[in-house]
Structure 1
Amino acid sequence: MFITMLSLFSFSSMDLNTGNLNIPYADKIIHFVFYLGFGFLGSLCFRERTKGALGLIKTVKIVVISAVAYGIIIEILQYTITTDRMAEFGDVLANVLGAFAGIGLIRWVFSKKNPLKWKF
């Protein structure tokens, strides 16, 4: 819900570029970070909802497909229902890369080298 609200909310009335700090591609970085969280937290959510019964590989597939589909839907909604937000392919790419980074992080956290286990 948080990502949806931020993706569809209009920031045109706010001046976000005040001051001396001007970060190039800041919006793409934000997309990447949000979807990294989506991938990581989504995997943990599926794990908890299934009490560890859903395997890591299946969970990863579900979360990646969900994140990519959700990111594309949000970009379509930005194009169709908002007046001052733009749909950009770069946003979709940042979303997908962020989701994969979140999945990579979850796979690393639950790898054989780390003490955390997927199933208790």
Structure 2
Amino acid sequence: MLKNSGFTIVFLLWMGFVTVMSLISLSGVSAPTLRIPHMDKIVHFTFYFVATILGCFFARERTDGKLKLQKATMIFSLVTIIYGIIIEVLQHKLTVTRDGNIFDALANITGTFVGALIIIVVFSSNGRLKWRP
């Protein structure tokens, strides 16, 4: 059962990690003193960039490559964008130490689009890798 479920497991773990990290309070955690401008936007970008790529691999794994590349990237782009917006709303409504932010949502969307673009380029007909196994 788990033999062909590597991307499924990694995708679900990643989404759980994104959810927890987006909704828990980190106010009591001491962070390194290295200050990188807009680091939170880089983190948001990375979360959704990785989520989109893993989501596409999840779709490929679950459908044995039968779901077309364009459809998989479209589905997981929409899924991650909607998920990111829901997380931002939850941060605004449910948490005291987190705040939903339109710029965070834009970083999420940018990460999603870049992840989808990379999947399309890597698995395009001119690419070395093929979408169907």
Same fold flag (TM > 0.5): yes
Matching of residue 4 in structure 1 with residue 49 in structure 2: no
- Superposed CA deviations along residues 57-114 of structure 1, whole A, max 9, x for unmatched, are 1111100110110000000110111111000000000000000111011111112232
Q: Quote the sequence identity (%).
A: 43
Gaps of 5+ in 1: none
Amino acid at match of 1:9: I
Q: How many residues end up aligned between the 2 structures? A: 118
How far apart, CA to CA, are the structure 2 residues paired with 1:71 and 1:45? 18
The answer to whether residue 39 in structure 2 is matched with residue 26 in structure 1 is: yes
Tell me the TM-score normalised to structure 2 length: 0.85
> Is 1:70–2:83 an aligned residue pair?
yes
Q: Deviations over 1:1-29 (max 9, x none)?
A: 1100000010011132x43x210100000
Return structure 1 stretches of 4+ with deviation > 6 angstroms.
Answer: none
Instruction: Give per-residue Cα distances to partners, 1:29-80, cap 9 Å, x unaligned.
Output: 0000111001111001001101111001111110011011000000011011
* Aligned equivalent of 2:66, options 53, 59, 79: 53
Residue 81 of structure 1, aligned match among 87, 94, 97: 94
Give the gaps of 5 or more residues in structure 2. Answer: 1-15
* TM-score of the pair, normalised by structure 1: 0.94
Q: Distance in 2 between matches of 1:66 and 1:28?
A: 20
Q: Measure the CA separation in 2 of the matches of 1:116 and 1:57.
A: 15
Give me the CA root mean square deviation.
Answer: 1.0
CA distance in 1, matches of 2:122, 2:47: 19
Are 1:14 and 2:25 an aligned pair?
Answer: no
Higher relative contact order (CA 8 A, sep 6+): 1
